[in-house]
Structure 1
Amino acid sequence: MALRVPQSNGPQLFKEGYKNLQGLEEVIFRNIQATKEMSEITRTSFGPNGRNKMVVNHLEKLFVTNDAATIIRELEVVHPAAKLLVMASQQQEAEAGDGTNYVIIFASELLQRAESLLRMGLHPSEIARGYELALKEALRALEALAAEEVREWTDPAQVLKAVRSAIASKQYGQEDVLGKLVAEAVVATMPRGDASRFNVDNVRVVKVLGGSLAQSRVEHGMVFPRAPETAAQRARFAKVAVFACPVDVGQTETKGTVLLHTAGEMLDYTRGEEAQMAAAVAELHAAGIAAVVCGSGVGDLAVHYFNRYGIVALKVPSKFELRRVCRVLGANPLARLGVPTPEEMGYCDEIRTTEIGGDRVTVVRQWTAEELAASGVAAERPAFADRIQRSPLVTVVLRGATLNALDDAERAVDDGVNVVKALTKDPRLVPGGCAAEMELARLVQDAADRTAGINQHAMKAFAQALEVFARTMGDNAGVDSTALVAKLIAAHHAKAKTTVAGALVGPSIGVDVDCDHEPRLVDALAQGILDPLAVKSWGLTYATQAALTVLQVDQIVMAKTAGGPKLPKQQQGNWDEDD
């Protein structure tokens, strides 16, 4: 009788319940499918004709927007592969301020192109090497496509030229209105002589319901959507004290009961607190303080004495807003109620209360040199004001019919300001309207033809993936995207840069998406359609790196989910419930 050797299933590495997926079908193709579904969500929001998404988050808050950064943040993506694309787009938002949808679309397209190469038999490492070579060639070619640059940050026309495309992708048709607001705000807050010190936090946005977007304006200073707490609502050339603590009588830490026997005891009960508050406000008035800003509450007793001395008291509940107002005033917030020292004291040229669309707002601002000269009261400005280091801060007051429309306009303004921040590091501009991407596709395709070996297949796939932006823009405009891309390819592959048989050719030919007619080919440079080079460069880099990370995953090991077994619905219930 022969002995039977028992078959071993291998060593037990993990606890029971672990899942181990590996291979092309179970891992790579599934991850590519997840990223494709992620891209299809945001892809229809790309470009000037991008559609809005209606997203309700876990707090049941409604978002109606075409901003990819907001969409993916509120969707709470949990799939690991799709989450890698989300993290890459978030890094793009932090680095360049725009191009989040750009990263997701391109990374997903690279992975879909890689899927066909994998089915042909190429190894993921071979595709990764080809993509890296293509990215290096694309970045080198992108540097050569730089056509213009922003040379003068004090010129609103040059700033508008730089931010117009970024705003048009969010608010098409309103790019000139919002662009002028952003340009005016940027010029007012741009540090003279060193643009690299530009701080995006110096441009605020306040949304006031009512009116139209054309009624929006820029205020030099801070605008608070509330009126002062006191009867005095205006001050000029004022010393300001900023308190981070409540301006009120002190409260005991524990609750107690006070027994009063006579009317005299009742009258004397609050007399000490009144005397203390009266002395504190009198000291502020004696020090020349004409306005008080506090980050917490202002008590009724304090309001009474502020009204007696004609001091303006403004409440700022947000600690972030309190920091900004301290920068505008050149003040230090005090954690105690008392007279600030000259180093802690702030100053502003004007505090006034005005009405915008039926809402009362308070404006805290510093006058420009031109306004000061035109006012005729420059002699009243105290010498104390010149010794305080104040930060230039402006507020963009947006008007609109609904909160959703105002939120979307605010995102467009934020994108424009953040693009300016990226341009202060690299002021070069490249042709927009997909002209740069189509020219890069041609150059990478030519480089792939010169490359020997297997790498050329991945490089050609990279070049074909660059055509996805023109195709997406055509799809969103409702035209034949295949014909549009074919025209662009023909225009960019033509050798001459002149008009041939009535067709535009050359490296700067892009798509002009207009509501009055179908998208047509135009010279992006002649039309002023320009995109920042830094946004394109970082977008290509982050998208390729995210795609390579997903592509090089060959195994997924998932631990058993914490918690007990899930009972069927008919067995779920309270543990001590009777049958």
Structure 2
Amino acid sequence: MSLSIPNPSQAGLFKPGYQSHDAEDGAIIRNIEACRAISQTVQTSLGPYGRNKIVINHLQKMILTSDAATILRELDVVHPAAKLLVMASEQQEAEMGDATNMVIVLAGELLKKAEELLRMGLKTSDIVQGYEKAQNFALKCLEDLEVDRLKDIRSQEELSKALRTVVASKQSGSEEILANLVAEAVLAVLPKNPVNFNVDNVRVVKIMGGSLEQSRVVKGMVFGREPEGQVKKAQKAKVGVFSCPIDISQTETKGTVLLHNAQEMLNFTKGEEERLEAAIKELYDSGLRVIVAGATVGELALHYLNRFNILVIKIHSKFELRRLCRVVGATPLARLGAPMPDEMGTVDVVETTEIGGDRVTVFRQEDPSAVTRTATIVLRGATQNHLDDVERAIDDGVNVVKAITKDPRLVPGAGATEVQLVERISTFADKTPGLPQHAIRKYAEAFEVIPRTLAESAGLDATEVLSRLYTAHHRRRPQAASEEESGEEGSEEEEPYWTTGVDLFGESNTGTVDAMEEGILDLMASKQWAIRLGSEAARTVLSVDQIIVARQAGGPKPPGQNPNWDED
């Protein structure tokens, strides 16, 4: 057998300049390393004591947050395998709005364990198979770990109970205030059938200045500006929404007008004024008393609107315009003219109030049964970055409410659920014959990363805390096993051993705490999704054995200081 010279295989197959990473070059190991790098980036920002990251994106905008989905969205990840993880976390964000960090940390840890198995000589197929078995078992186990469920989603206390942990993981310390704000806002807009709850109906308006304690919930939609004209409030009014400029209709083409004398010049402008006045009067006659403009409002038009006592407010963002249309039930019109009766909306109250020196306009629907109601959380805070981050926490909270309407079950937080899964999946591994059992055992060990990270970021001795947790979770194995058959209630009388989690706030000297008593509860649904997506991502990365990257389009980059100089 002659020694073959390793040259790029299939030389005439691809365009020149492509790269191929083969399994022989350790493509899998390299993929795992890339994914590990990404999961280590967000791992330190897991949980209430998670560290913040400052990301400066390609537009030089600074983002300060500990929200994994945001961090990864702003970092442009190009490595194809690592992108899979980012996509999984985006999916989690879309599905649950929370636990995005868990997806990545779990996937990263599963890959790290897989690497150990590969070095031991297992094949990827064995690992993937074992992981799949273990994942199905883990999801089954989760079902048994329910400790509580939201009985009444309409009670503010019950809701805040479920929201506290979610908000605490982003904004530790202010979770009480924020959970209550979110609960209050959500209850203000919760429809008769909670499943129809629309996340979009809870808005956030950020007003600089003041402190978080001064934040409050305003029932209705708040815009951070005041109306243009003299009219500042209206009640029980018809609303027209115009996405076109409210002004004299300008012609597209340039025209030349020859004026012979002064009289003609006066008549020329007078005609325009009369036409505009007629247009505004037409609006007034159709019953409109509030006009929302998505574009400019001319000086002259404003004058007539004031004369007819019509409130006019400009809204620049077309998303806000769309939302407002939904709230008042109007159709945005693209031309200036009296709307049809069904194109007009109604609003109960439009008023201008002052919040911390900023004048804001509130659109409010009083009718309690209306589906179109919105609530706005007016956030106060010292810096823009902080406000943005609080907004992310609130966003998570609101999304979690949406998840609760579908599945109200809660599991213990603070890493308790994960330690329990380690225990149960390890036991399952011992019963599994064949090679996959190694993979299942490693899958179980991967869950340890969550409590470990929580302990580390809280500054505790992770190894010690974990051994205490394992002891606590082992404590009542024998009769616990028999209780499992008799149902969950049996174990409630005695202190349930598996709700022990990491004590983050340093109240106990053991470093462990009963998550149930402390009210640290996580949504079962978001854990399920996180495990599903995390394992899925890890399995996908493991089953890749070759990456072929075509050469980037475009010619060679010019040498010099900045190769991307033309992108600005």
The equivalent of 1:56 in structure 2 is: 56
> Residue type of the partner of 1:210?
G
The equivalent of 1:558 in structure 2 is: 549
Deviation, structure 1 residue 519:
7.8
Structure 1 residues 167-316: aligned runs within 5 Å: 167-192=167-192, 194-316=193-315
Cα distance in 1 for partners of 2:95, 2:283 equals 45
When residues 49 and 254 of structure 1 are mapped into structure 2, their CA distance, relative to the original with a 3 A threshold, is: same
Say if 2:164 and 2:175, in contact at 8 Å, map to a contact too.
yes
Deviation, structure 1 residue 568:
6.7
Structure 1 residues 47-126: aligned runs within 5 Å: 47-126=47-126
Cα distance in 2 for partners of 1:23, 1:339 equals 69
Cα distance in 2 for partners of 1:462, 1:390 equals 45
The equivalent of 2:470 in structure 1 is: 489
Is 1:414 aligned with 2:395? yes
Structure 1 residues 383-422: aligned runs within 5 Å: 391-422=372-403
> Residue type of the partner of 1:190?
L
Q: Give the match's secondary structure for 1:391.
A: coil
Cα distance in 2 for partners of 1:566, 1:535 equals 45
Unaligned runs of 5+ residues in structure 1 are: 370-385, 499-503, 573-579
Q: Give the match's secondary structure for 2:385.
A: helix
Deviation, structure 1 residue 99:
1.0
Cα distance in 2 for partners of 1:531, 1:568 equals 53
Deviation, structure 1 residue 116:
0.8
When residues 220 and 425 of structure 1 are mapped into structure 2, their CA distance, relative to the original with a 3 A threshold, is: same
Is 1:512 aligned with 2:482? no
Bigger shift: 51-60 or 560-569? Answer: 560-569
Bigger shift: 258-267 or 132-141? Answer: 258-267
Say if 1:35 and 1:81, in contact at 8 Å, map to a contact too.
yes
When residues 289 and 117 of structure 1 are mapped into structure 2, their CA distance, relative to the original with a 3 A threshold, is: same
Q: Give the match's secondary structure for 1:343.
A: helix
Is 1:537 aligned with 2:518? no
When residues 288 and 556 of structure 1 are mapped into structure 2, their CA distance, relative to the original with a 3 A threshold, is: closer
The equivalent of 1:447 in structure 2 is: 428
Is 1:431 aligned with 2:404? no
Deviations 1:368-422 (A, max 9, x none): 56xxxxxxxxxxxxxxxx9xx6601111110000100000010000000011111
Q: Give the match's secondary structure for 2:300.
A: helix
The equivalent of 2:28 in structure 1 is: 28
Q: Give the match's secondary structure for 1:59.
A: coil
The equivalent of 2:364 in structure 1 is: 365
The equivalent of 2:349 in structure 1 is: 350
Deviations 1:178-225 (A, max 9, x none): 111110111111111x22211101111100000001101111111001
When residues 11 and 534 of structure 1 are mapped into structure 2, their CA distance, relative to the original with a 3 A threshold, is: closer
Q: Give the match's secondary structure for 2:92.
A: helix
Bigger shift: 481-490 or 262-271? Answer: 262-271
Deviation, structure 1 residue 563:
4.6
Unaligned runs of 5+ residues in structure 2 are: 481-494, 564-568
TM-score by length of 2: 0.91
Is 1:44 aligned with 2:44? yes
Say if 1:327 and 1:390, in contact at 8 Å, map to a contact too.
no
> Residue type of the partner of 1:95?
E
> Residue type of the partner of 1:557?
I
Say if 1:42 and 1:68, in contact at 8 Å, map to a contact too.
yes
Bigger shift: 49-58 or 419-428? Answer: 419-428
Cα distance in 2 for partners of 1:517, 1:173 equals 18
When residues 352 and 80 of structure 1 are mapped into structure 2, their CA distance, relative to the original with a 3 A threshold, is: same
Is 1:328 aligned with 2:327? yes
Deviation, structure 1 residue 558:
2.5
> Residue type of the partner of 1:281?
I
Say if 2:204 and 2:379, in contact at 8 Å, map to a contact too.
yes
When residues 567 and 264 of structure 1 are mapped into structure 2, their CA distance, relative to the original with a 3 A threshold, is: closer
The equivalent of 1:468 in structure 2 is: 449
Deviation, structure 1 residue 567:
7.5
Say if 2:460 and 2:511, in contact at 8 Å, map to a contact too.
no
Bigger shift: 287-296 or 312-321? Answer: 287-296
Q: Give the match's secondary structure for 1:364.
A: strand
When residues 567 and 332 of structure 1 are mapped into structure 2, their CA distance, relative to the original with a 3 A threshold, is: closer
Cα distance in 2 for partners of 1:520, 1:505 equals 18
Bigger shift: 231-240 or 48-57? Answer: 231-240
Bigger shift: 306-315 or 508-517? Answer: 508-517
Cα distance in 1 for partners of 2:69, 2:547 equals 28
Deviations 1:317-341 (A, max 9, x none): 2221111111211222222222223
The equivalent of 2:491 in structure 1 is: none
When residues 561 and 305 of structure 1 are mapped into structure 2, their CA distance, relative to the original with a 3 A threshold, is: closer
Cα distance in 1 for partners of 2:286, 2:558 equals 72
Cα distance in 1 for partners of 2:306, 2:556 equals 67
Q: Give the match's secondary structure for 2:457.
A: helix
Q: Give the match's secondary structure for 2:41.
A: helix
Deviations 1:125-150 (A, max 9, x none): 00111111111110000011112222
Say if 2:189 and 2:371, in contact at 8 Å, map to a contact too.
no
Cα distance in 1 for partners of 2:413, 2:288 equals 53
Say if 1:477 and 1:519, in contact at 8 Å, map to a contact too.
no
Cα distance in 1 for partners of 2:147, 2:499 equals 9
> Residue type of the partner of 2:185?
A
When residues 518 and 267 of structure 1 are mapped into structure 2, their CA distance, relative to the original with a 3 A threshold, is: farther
Q: Give the match's secondary structure for 1:45.
A: coil
Deviation, structure 1 residue 22:
1.7
Deviations 1:282-320 (A, max 9, x none): 233233322111211111111101111211101112221
Q: Give the match's secondary structure for 1:507.
A: helix
Say if 1:330 and 1:390, in contact at 8 Å, map to a contact too.
no
When residues 165 and 353 of structure 1 are mapped into structure 2, their CA distance, relative to the original with a 3 A threshold, is: same
Q: Give the match's secondary structure for 1:126.
A: helix
Say if 1:331 and 1:346, in contact at 8 Å, map to a contact too.
yes
> Residue type of the partner of 2:75?
L
Bigger shift: 555-564 or 443-452? Answer: 555-564
The equivalent of 2:461 in structure 1 is: 480
Deviation, structure 1 residue 246:
1.6
Deviations 1:41-86 (A, max 9, x none): 1111110001111111000101111111111011110001111100
The equivalent of 1:138 in structure 2 is: 138
Deviation, structure 1 residue 518:
6.9
The equivalent of 2:487 in structure 1 is: none
Say if 1:235 and 1:352, in contact at 8 Å, map to a contact too.
yes
Q: Give the match's secondary structure for 1:93.
A: helix
> Residue type of the partner of 1:473?
L
Say if 1:474 and 1:519, in contact at 8 Å, map to a contact too.
no
Cα distance in 2 for partners of 1:519, 1:226 equals 53
Deviation, structure 1 residue 516:
6.7
